[in-house]
Amino acid sequence: MLAVDRDSGDFLYRQVIDLINDNIESGTLRPGDRLPSLRRMSDKIGVSIPTVRQAYIELERQRRVESRPQSGFYVRAVRTNELVRPAPRFRAASKPACIGCRTLMERVYDGLYSPDIVPLGIANPCMASPAAKGLHRAMKRIMARVEERAISYAPTQGEPRLRRQIAYRYLDTVGSTVDPNEICITNGGQEALLLALQAVADKGDVIAVESPTYHGLLELIDSLGMLAIEVETCPEEGVMLDSLARTLEAHPVKACMFSTTLSNPLGVTMSEEKRAEVVRLIEDHDVVLIEDDVYGDLLFDGNRPKPAEFYSRRGNVLTCGSFSKTAAPGYRIGWLLTGNYGSEIERLKRSYSCSSGLLQQLTLSEFLATGDYDRYLKTLRPVLQQNAERMRALVAEHFPEVTRTSQPVGGSVLWLELPKCVDSEVLFDNAIEAGISIAPGHIFAPRKRYTNFVRLSFGHPWSDAIESSIAWLGAEVSRLSR
Amino acid sequence: MLAVDRDSGDFLYRQVIDLINDNIESGTLRPGDRLPSLRRMSDKIGVSIPTVRQAYIELERQRRVESRPQSGFYVRAVRTNELVRPAPRFRAASKPACIGCRTLMERVYDGLYSPDIVPLGIANPCMASPAAKGLHRAMKRIMARVEERAISYAPTQGEPRLRRQIAYRYLDTVGSTVDPNEICITNGGQEALLLALQAVADKGDVIAVESPTYHGLLELIDSLGMLAIEVETCPEEGVMLDSLARTLEAHPVKACMFSTTLSNPLGVTMSEEKRAEVVRLIEDHDVVLIEDDVYGDLLFDGNRPKPAEFYSRRGNVLTCGSFSKTAAPGYRIGWLLTGNYGSEIERLKRSYSCSSGLLQQLTLSEFLATGDYDRYLKTLRPVLQQNAERMRALVAEHFPEVTRTSQPVGGSVLWLELPKCVDSEVLFDNAIEAGISIAPGHIFAPRKRYTNFVRLSFGHPWSDAIESSIAWLGAEVSRLSR
């Protein structure tokens, strides 16, 4: 196990990861075994301690190992029926396409807001343990403090206090400086995506997306009369650089829309180098990256990576953030780091929706400034992590053995590959009949694909109804795969 | 004076109006004279009492006469220096155009939100007497009642309770039935305009607008890569039917965007027949009417006309409403009556901004359901009317005599025609220097036009600063016209 190749061109810490993975795969390291200490490993293979630490932390993120306080890193125990990892690489279509599943998408949305439906089809992490009380308190303070101003128009670009808080937060969490004047407040992350896309691309243009990708993004591309082309991904690293490079060579791509942290539905977080490489590649091709970073605060370990925007040298990256996944979905407050496109984005924002809600902006800036937001995230993440564990355990128990799942390290969704013969549209229809909403794989790609995949959300307060719904789904999948 | 022509084809009540206007113009009826009673007039000219009443009410709306309780209708007194009426007809360019004054528009917006600027450039009626206290109370009740649900997502189409309240209100104020399922809640009236326009037209399409028209509408058309063509208007009746007919014949117009009640900046309200005729004309040409009806509740006399939508037989009218002008600008809640385009609009709404703020929707439905909204409007309208009178009196006092103004019967803006030699862009620049924002005429048409016009807003709590600003503007206009 103990060899690295300094001439291979691969990062050293990735070689360390590969070494350990090989040893786990071969059975040399078994579940429950302790990894060599950082110092010992460093001495043995001749790389620095920080490099070993980086490898161990990455392995922990991949859930191959776990750290135990005061003790070290251990190979994770495999549960009975633990699900194998998803397919190593999601292959992509090679031509731009319109969206083929409008009707199914609409049916998925139709069921979401009925109180009688168990809502496993919507990604809504913060409702697993809502911050309503704290937000209500903050809002009442604001109403008392600013009185009449609370109902008036916010500036188009957004309330300056909130923009400053968002900038502070970048400094605080990733150590990067953002100019509050380069932030535009939007109606949730969705409007941030809209404004970014409209600022850089036009009807008929080709937009590169991950495969699979967030369905709301596909619907947006479709609404604007643009075409989506898929870039291959893998569940460990996200966007595959070779596939991205090929796509940029072969097609007149105007922009890439990638989720850098906790991609939806895969749940992948791009490493820091991956971000740098993606940005270099898109800037070399004079393409814009629209970065969907709405889940950044929801990594279970709380270590948010730098947005890709900070690796940009030319201002070609537009980063979309939001409080909808992390605090208050119904406030409809997101933001956009506007890169080179500040004045164009402000003009679009004004003509599309004038400005965003002032009271919610003031309330969120209060919620951030008091530290309540951070304290809230610290209570939310363990709830999500526990929900994720419970859901995976139940899937392992009730679904056919060949089912593969993602290994969530944050966020609120689990991505499942069902037996090949199962059509998840049929599963969706039957589930809705049974009072359960799910997100069928079809809606996560422009062409018919992922037809035997399904996304389940664990972003709800855990309940018996959820447990029995998962059991029901498992039984139904078994029935459909017979 | 006493003759009507039943064969002329003109409406009888309009003939009554013409008769009385002729008599005022000729001096037969003088300021302060009492008009004949309804019954007497009816007997004399042989038309029904309701027809005479309709004529008198319309004359009152035109501010030619005023009603005095228990007494009758009187020809209005002309004040010293009362301003003559605006030019009888605004001529329009005959070719579609892109917008030529982007930069000026941006400069107009730049000054609006600074606390040091006297904001005469923004149309913000409800801030003249804000409903903040009542809205805050309603919001606190909602937060206490629905708790965690208050921060969650609203349905894409909008909270059902608010849609029902809006439907009730149409029944209550204009006696017309709206299906709550044909209402889509939007981020203010601006997003309603966006969704309507995107649903019916495409990049490069030609959109007919009033001349002059609301600048936000022009900016929206421009953002979507569409072209605007102007239709002539007159300050008494709004859109001229002959100009509209010519435009629809000569150009491939995809949609008309007209303001039916209290147009901005002219302040015209289309009569009921005019609405019917406009709708018939556009439906004959298979064109869609996007009706901007955000000021409907702000006629000083409180008599809201039926939206043009109710004259449509084919579902070709999309009506945009909003609470931004009448209750809470910062809530960003408007709506769209979706006509034939329900599912397309819902899809657009979802992909553009997901949904609108839930807490504000619940608060407004509470505000409407308790009757607080109606009570509030009854206090707001007289404040606006008084502000309008004060502003006109000050303009009469301080501006050159040749200045003409609109005669506001509602809303919050006054439209001024300055001496021909005055460039209102220069006036704008000098005013901003002096700490006053105004809206120069240039921004109300796609081509350079209305260069000697300016729009002033009286939708703010009256103040010494406003008075001295109007005096300053008058002096500056005099200086510039020398």
Q: Which residues of A touch B136 (CB under 8 A)?
A: 143, 150
Q: What is the pLDDT of residue A82?
A: 42
pTM, full prediction: 0.84
DSSP codes, A60-84 = HHTTSEEEETTTEEEEPPPPTTPPP
Contact A396, A81 (CB under 8 A): yes
Q: Which range is least confidently modeled, A424-428, B38-42, B431-435? A: B38-42
pLDDT band per the 50, 70, 90 thresholds, residue A312: very high
Is residue A78 scored above 90 in pLDDT? no
Question: Percent of chain A scored above 70 by pLDDT?
Answer: 94
At residue B413, φ and ψ (nearest 5 deg) are -130, 150
Q: What is the pLDDT of residue B189?
A: 97
Of A127, A347, A357, nearest to B357 by CB-CB distance is A357
β-bridge pairing B436-437 and A404-405: unpaired
Please judge whether B220 and A351 are an interchain contact, meaning their C-beta atoms are less than 8 angstroms apart. yes
Question: Percent of chain A scored above 90 by pLDDT?
Answer: 69
Window 287-346 of B, Cβ < 8 Å to A = 324, 327-332, 343
Residue with the larger pLDDT of the pair A466 and A103: A466
Please judge whether B225 and A202 are an interchain contact, meaning their C-beta atoms are less than 8 angstroms apart. yes
Residue B349 structure tokens = 């709404």
Is residue B209 scored above 90 in pLDDT? yes
Cα(B277)–Cα(A111) distance, integer angstroms: 42
The torsion region of residue A438 among left (phi > 0), alpha (psi -120 to 50) and beta comes to: beta
Is residue A207 scored above 90 in pLDDT? yes
A202 close to B (CB below 8 A): yes
Is residue A1 scored above 50 in pLDDT? no
Q: Which of B269, B193, B286, B186 is nearest to B234 (CA)?
A: B269
Residue B442 structure tokens = 């240039």
Q: Which of B347, B413, B443 is nearest to A108 (CA)?
A: B347
| pLDDT tens sequence across B394-445 | 998 899 988 999 989 999 999 999 999 999 999 999 999 999 999 999 999 9
Q: Which range is least confidently modeled, A255-269, A349-363, B395-409? A: B395-409
pLDDT band per the 50, 70, 90 thresholds, residue B242: very high
Q: What is the pLDDT of residue A92?
A: 66
Please tell me the distance in Å from A236's CA to the nearest CA on chain B. Answer: 29
On the CB side of B323, how many CA atoms lie within 13 Å of its CA?
Answer: 33
Q: How far is CA A18 from the centre of its chain?
A: 25
Looking at the predicted complex, does its ipTM rise above 0.85?
Answer: no
Contact B452, B420 (CB under 8 A): yes
Of A132, A219, A351, nearest to B150 by CB-CB distance is A132
Of A109, A156, A327, nearest to B350 by CB-CB distance is A109
What is the fold of A132-373? Aspartate Aminotransferase; domain 2 (3.40.640)
Is residue A240 scored above 80 in pLDDT? yes
Please judge whether B330 and A155 are an interchain contact, meaning their C-beta atoms are less than 8 angstroms apart. no
Cα(A280)–Cα(A338) distance, integer angstroms: 18
Residues B121-150, mean pLDDT to the nearest whole number:
94
Residues A214-219, mean pLDDT to the nearest whole number:
94
**Equal CATH topology for B12-75 and B102-129+380-480:** no
Residues 6+ apart with CB under 8 A from B242: none
| pLDDT tens sequence across B273-298 | 999 999 999 999 999 999 999 999 99
B119 close to A (CB below 8 A): no
Q: What is the pLDDT of residue A114?
A: 74
Contact B231, B211 (CB under 8 A): yes
Pick the CATH number of A102-129+380-480 from 3.40.50.11810, 3.30.70.260, 3.90.1150.10, 2.40.50.140: 3.90.1150.10
At residue B322, φ and ψ (nearest 5 deg) are -165, 150
pLDDT band per the 50, 70, 90 thresholds, residue A100: low
Residues 6+ apart with CB under 8 A from B217: B193, B209, B257, B292
For residue A288, list its beta bridge partners.
A255
Residues A35-42, mean pLDDT to the nearest whole number:
88
A359 close to B (CB below 8 A): yes
Q: Residue A258 carries which DSSP code?
A: E
Mutation site, B354, B356, B362, interface A, largest A CB count within 10 A: B354
Please judge whether A352 and B223 are an interchain contact, meaning their C-beta atoms are less than 8 angstroms apart. yes
Is residue A14 scored above 90 in pLDDT? no
Please tell me the distance in Å from A372's CA to the nearest CA on chain B. Answer: 16
Q: What is the pLDDT of residue B393?
A: 87
Cα(B247)–Cα(B254) distance, integer angstroms: 11
Q: Which residues of B touch A358 (CB under 8 A)?
A: 330
Domain A12-75 has CATH 2.40.50.140: no
Q: Residue A234 carries which DSSP code?
A: E
Please judge whether B147 and A132 are an interchain contact, meaning their C-beta atoms are less than 8 angstroms apart. yes
Is residue A80 scored above 50 in pLDDT? no
Q: What is the pLDDT of residue A450?
A: 93
Minimal Cα distance from A364: which residue of B? Answer: B151
DSSP codes, B446-458 = SSS--TTEEEEE-
Q: Which range is least confidently modeled, A71-75, A134-138, A374-378? A: A71-75
A34 close to B (CB below 8 A): no
Q: What is the pLDDT of residue A4?
A: 76
Contact A411, A123 (CB under 8 A): yes
Q: What is the pLDDT of residue B83?
A: 42
pLDDT band per the 50, 70, 90 thresholds, residue B3: low
β-bridge pairing B206-211 and B183-186: unpaired
Q: What is the pLDDT of residue A438?
A: 96
| Runs of H (alpha helix) within B95-131 | 102-110
Please judge whether B331 and A151 are an interchain contact, meaning their C-beta atoms are less than 8 angstroms apart. yes
| pLDDT tens sequence across B50-101 | 899 989 988 888 878 888 777 788 887 555 344 444 555 666 666 777 776 7
Q: Which range is least confidently modeled, A393-407, A414-428, B137-151, B464-478? A: A393-407
Residues 6+ apart with CB under 8 A from A176: A170, A306, A307, A310
Residues A362-391, mean pLDDT to the nearest whole number:
95
For residue A227, list its beta bridge partners.
A206
pLDDT band per the 50, 70, 90 thresholds, residue B211: very high
Provide the residue ranges of all domains of chain B, joining segments of one domain with +. 12-75, 102-129+380-480, 132-373
| pLDDT tens sequence across B156-201 | 999 999 999 999 999 999 888 899 999 999 999 999 999 999 999 9
| Helices first, then strands: H and E counts in chain B | 15, 16
Question: Percent of chain B scored above 70 by pLDDT?
Answer: 94
Of B127, B147, B357, nearest to A331 by CB-CB distance is B357
Q: What is the pLDDT of residue B273?
A: 93
